[in-house]
Amino acid sequence: MSQLDAQQRYDELVRLCYECVLDESKWPELLGRLVEASERQHGALMMLSKQTETVQISAINTYDSPITEAYNAYYHRLDPGYLFMPQREMGHWYHDFIDYGERAIARSPYYQEFHRAGDLGNISCVKLYENDRAGAYLSLLTSWDKRIGEPHQQQLLQRLTPHLSMAGRIAEQLQNQELDLAKRDLLLGQQATPLWLLDESGQVVFCNRAAEQLMMQKGFALYARCGQLHSTQQDSRLKALIQTASGRNGPRRAGWLQLNGSPEQSLLVTPVPAEATFNTQLQQPLVLLALVGQHPPTQLLAELFQLSPAEQRLAELLGKGHSPEQCCALLGVSINTVRTQLRALFRKTRTQRQSELVSLIGRLGR
């Protein structure tokens, strides 16, 4: 192969690496091209589960199904590669004939039973990513009677390794983000309270089913236009509250909006802490709107403001009109403890005075 052809093959494989990040269906194509370029016979993505401490062949492989089924059902327990790969750094290839040794291979039941029967030879494997839950490895195999390819083929794999590892890590991070977003949607979607999540410009990031149903009702005070939330009667006031809660006009503060002049329909507009469960992946200033004509459950309150159980109990008592001194007696703690928890409540809810805190949390915690 000419130097120009070799460079074109390398460029094509690099392009495929990053296409896999955006399109999971490209992984089989990349795997097949790697098998061809390295003159191997087989290839697979291997998934390690740290919970079950097992390595399995994923759906992305070039094996016949009996080989995959036999490995996943039984032979993964005998695979000596599992002794080497979890400890290996990302980007460092494991070659069984070098790291495990030809003498050990000749004595291994895994090789002599499983590999020989399936016409599987030597393994080259590289770690794509690893976290506290799982790991992913790219494995390439020769046939039983063939050795590893030529030096230039090994060099090609080595040049591609940083791109393979980067594609694996990005794909894993995107997958985790999708899972966390799904958890956020599930958490908020299950609430009976109508909820909206907005970014600092007022763009709707998420709204639950209860909010969607309300906005479909004729005459409801809120509606979405071009992805942004508006109010039919108090749009400028709503925008100001969103800007205040997002921190565009200074410290992030919560506020209230009375809808349609009804005291039973109050809209809470409050900052979302970065550490809230449904905001840990987005990591941007978000604003939560909650329609509290029917008070949302205390669980949502605690989740929204990341309250400890003790802080939650104090907030509920303050919301019922008890003074800090009365809270001491009811909770069986000292006044210093109450004052410490009160300061924590001010910080977490971004309020400055007890009256603000009572207005904010008292109405939510009842």
Statement to judge: residues 224 and 260 lie in one domain: yes
∠273-274-275 over CA atoms, to 5°? Answer: 90
Whether 19 and 75 map to the same domain: the answer is yes
Please tell me the predicted confidence (pLDDT) of residue 295: 47
Together in a domain, 239 and 105? no
pLDDT at 293: 56
Q: What is the pLDDT of residue 297?
A: 47
| Domain stops at, among 242, 264, 294 | 294
Q: What is the CATH number of the domain that holds 265?
A: 3.30.450
Spatial CB neighbours of 4, under 8 Å, sequence gap ≥ 6: none
Q: What's the pLDDT at 277?
A: 57
Residues 275 and 304 in one domain: no
20 with 35, same domain: the answer is yes
Whether residue 19 is found in the same domain as residue 152: yes
The last residue of a domain, from among 181, 207, 234? 181
User: Can you give the pLDDT at residue 193?
Assistant: 76
Looking at residue 226, the DSSP 8-state letter turns out to be T
Name 185's Cβ contacts closer than 8 Å, sequence gap at least 6. Answer: 206
Three-state DSSP class for 64? coil
Whether residue 10 is found in the same domain as residue 90 = yes
Q: How far is CA 125 from CA 57, 97, 184, in A?
A: 13, 12, 36
Do 289 and 310 fall within a single domain?
Answer: no
- pLDDT for 362 equals 54
Can you give the residue range of the structural domain that contains 272?
A: 190-294
* pLDDT at res. 179: 43
DSSP 203: B
What's the total number of domains in the chain?
Answer: 3
Mean pLDDT, contiguous 10-residue spans, the chain (366 residues): 75 86 84 90 86 82 91 90 80 87 92 92 88 83 80 83 83 58 51 80 83 85 88 88 82 78 69 62 71 57 74 83 88 90 84 77 52
Same domain for 174 and 256?
no
Question: What is the DSSP code string of 247-300?
Answer: TTTSS---EEEESTT-TT-EEEEEEE-TTSGGGTTT-S-EEEEEE-SSPPPHHH
List the CATH number of the domain containing 346: 1.10.10.10
Same domain membership, residue 224 and residue 89:
no
Looking at residue 366, its pLDDT comes to 43
Q: Give the model's pLDDT for residue 110.
A: 93
278 with 326, same domain?
A: no
pLDDT of residue 249: 72
What is the pLDDT at residue 290? 82
Kindly state whether residues 284 and 137 are assigned to the same domain.
no
Structure tokens given for 196: 């909206």
Coil vs helix vs strand at 195 = strand
CATH number at residue 78: 3.30.450.80
* pTM, to two decimals: 0.49
Q: Which two tokens stand for residue 247?
A: 């921190």
Last residue of a domain, one of 161, 181, 201: 181
Nearest CA to 325 out of 315, 311, 339 is that of 339
